[in-house]
Amino acid sequence: MRLDTLFSLVSWLVPHFWNQELRTIQVSQTEVLKVTDHEKLLLKRQGVNFLDITSFPALFKSEEGLEVPEYLYPTELVNGHKVTEIVQKCDTNAMYDDLAFFTSFYTRYYKSLSGFESATWLSEKLRNVTILLGDRVAQFHVDHHDWKQFSIIVQIKGTETPENVIVFGSHQDSMNLLFPSTLPAPGADDNGSGTVTNIEALRIYAQYLNETQDWPRNTVEFHFYSAEEGGLLGSLDIFTHYAQENRTVVAMLQQDMTGYVQNSKREHVGVITDFTSSILTDFIKRVIDKYLDIPFIETKCGYACSDHSSASKNGYPAALVIESEFSKTNKYIHTTMDTLDRLNFEHMAEHVKLIIGTTVELGNWRFQKKR
Ligand code: BES
Ligand code: ZN
């Protein structure tokens, strides 16, 4: 018997005989399956996309019911001087160093010890970049019941309307699709790139706030989700909890894969138009037009491909921006070959500008629902 066949057999037997706990996954608008963790992995390898809703049975029932409110977003972007001042400080060498460290963990698989250690490193890194804000910044670990890797929330509370929250999200975990528990998963692009994009935007925004004391009237949060690769588990925990507490998220911008450029002659970012809020996405397109040096192309994932879907599912307006149109994204993800030598840090810096443009324009915006 070949070694890999033996390995497959053992990894099939173990969950069936020692750990019969079944997960509930939603594979389409109408179909829900009960599967073991191993069957979940097999489905993922076959390219079946799903949400793991084991802990959120109500979410499935409310599939049609939950309406996402439509807020008015700025049509004129008037804060160019601030955005230019902040993005000047973007440092691609710092981003490279962060990503080199982040990808040096053997894997950031959410159930692994190294996935817990990478979260611990990330948390310390975030504390270092925001320490100058003192008690005007808060940092929370969100512990999840079934796995070790925690999610992290960094919060800058709004001065006038702190109940209105703007969220910048990215997932911190990585996964080797072949054997998640045993093979390495550097996850440089998926989603080390989105993680360092959020870190760098937070670093230069914190520096700006400290220098100018130009605090936003609305709350700004940076989220680093655990277990996205397990079926959006970390972000579902967070947004379900936010919804239960009746919190108001007025905009959520997820960045998942920001570093790969297939054709540098046609460099662009990809704006996702399915499973997202179209009114928020229209605003994001205006930010790109005004503040990025490259254009956008509208594109689709075709399924609930990242954590923005957890926000949408819980009734919050969400957008997703990725490195390019979907068909031209990095093909090495979920393998040992998702490494940083394949990435373009100037491109990642464009994604940093997107966060800065969005936070400066929305930070002081007076949110009103569209009638
Ligand atoms: N980063 C991917 C999503 C993605 C893929 C974005 C290609 C842009 C281009 C994400 O980490 C992922 O792997 N998502 C899963 C689905 C999720 C619900 C488990 C996927 O695409 O299979
Ligand atoms: Zn992935």
Q: Which of 34-38, 44-48, 168-172 has the highest mean pLDDT?
A: 168-172
Residue appearing with tokens 């099939």: 12
Band (49; pLDDT cuts 50, 70, 90): confident
Higher pLDDT, 286 or 41: 286
Percent of the chain with pLDDT over 90: 83
Residue appearing with tokens 């990642």: 348
Q: Does the beta carbon of 364 sit less than 6 angstroms from any atom of ligand 1?
A: no
Residue appearing with tokens 């079934």: 146
Residue minimizing CA distance to atom 15 of ligand 1:
305
Q: Does the beta carbon of 256 sit less than 6 angstroms from any atom of ligand 1?
A: yes
Instruction: Tell me what pLDDT residue 65 has.
Output: 47
**Is residue 252 pLDDT above 50, yes or no?**
yes
Segment 138-152 shows an average pLDDT of 97
**Mean pLDDT, the chain, integer:** 93
Segment 248-264 shows an average pLDDT of 98
Distance CA 230, CA 218 (A): 32
Ligand (nearest to CA of 51):
1
**Is residue 1 pLDDT above 90, yes or no?**
no
Residue minimizing CA distance to atom 20 of ligand 1:
305
Sequence ranges of the domains in the chain = 68-363
pLDDT tens by residue, 343-360: 999 999 999 999 999 999
Cα 209 to ligand 1 centre (Å): 33
**Is residue 7 pLDDT above 60, yes or no?**
no
Higher pLDDT, 297 or 43: 297
Distance CA 183, CA 336 (A): 8
Instruction: Tell me what pLDDT residue 31 has.
Output: 85
Band (87; pLDDT cuts 50, 70, 90): very high
Supply the pTM of this predicted model.
0.92
Q: Does the beta carbon of 191 sit less than 6 angstroms from any atom of ligand 1?
A: yes
**Residue 144, token pair as written in the block:** 């999840």
Query: Domain 68-363's class?
Result: alpha beta
Ligand (nearest to CA of 53):
1
Q: Does the beta carbon of 231 sit less than 6 angstroms from any atom of ligand 1?
A: yes
Per-residue exposure over 174-202, b if at least 16 CB sit within 10 Å of its own CB, e if not: bbbebebeeebbbbbbbbbbbbbbbbbbb
